[in-house]
Amino acid sequence: METQSNLRMTRQRQVILEELRRTCSHPGADELYARVRKRLPRISLGTIYRNLEVLSANGDIQKIETGGSLKRFDGNPEPHYHIRCLRCHKVVDAPVAALPEVERLLDGKTDFAITGHRIEFLGICPKCQAED
């Protein structure tokens, strides 16, 4: 467990992290709850939410604040972008390297202290295209 800080590593936290890293579906809390429950049947949804919050604050995972109403999480803590299907709301990783330079576009143009950026591509996934 490559946690950079002094988080207490409970079984629940460990399994949540493992399951999140095992999937590539960028699950919301509910989907992850279902997965984790197969291994820890007595875990509660509240624990899922609390840990997703703590783990993302700690940099072990990412909260993908994408357009949808649902909060999604990504087991990959490295900066990268996403593509979201406008029809089925699926989220996949964008096959592009991160562009740290884009933040320089704001140099001298804003009084905000810029600390990051996010890019989200929108489109229709292959499956939804086929359904037309």
Partner DNA sequence: ATCCATGCAAAGCCTTTGCACCCGA
Partner DNA sequence: TCGGGTGCAAAGGCTTTGCATGGAT
Binding site for a copy of itself (CB under 8 A): 65-69, 71, 83, 85-86, 92, 94-96, 99, 102-103, 105-106, 109-126, 129
User: Choosing among a copy of itself, DNA, none, which partner's interface includes residue 47 (Cβ < 5 to 8 Å by kind)?
Assistant: DNA
User: Choosing among DNA, a copy of itself, none, which partner's interface includes residue 43 (Cβ < 5 to 8 Å by kind)?
Assistant: DNA
Residues 6+ away with beta carbon under 8 Å from 108: none
Question: H or E element: which one contains 83?
Answer: strand 82-85
We find the least distance from the C-beta atom of residue 82 to a copy of itself, in angstroms, to be: 10
Query: Is-contact 118 81, C-beta < 8 A?
Result: yes
* Rg for the chain, CA atoms, rounded: 17
Binding site for DNA (CB under 7 A): 7-13, 28-30, 40, 42-47, 49-51, 53-54, 69-71
Q: Is the dihedral of CA 18, 19, 25, 26 positive or negative?
A: negative
User: Choosing among DNA, a copy of itself, none, which partner's interface includes residue 4 (Cβ < 5 to 8 Å by kind)?
Assistant: none
Give the distance from CA 77 to its chain's centroid: 8
We find the least distance from the C-beta atom of residue 15 to DNA, in angstroms, to be: 9
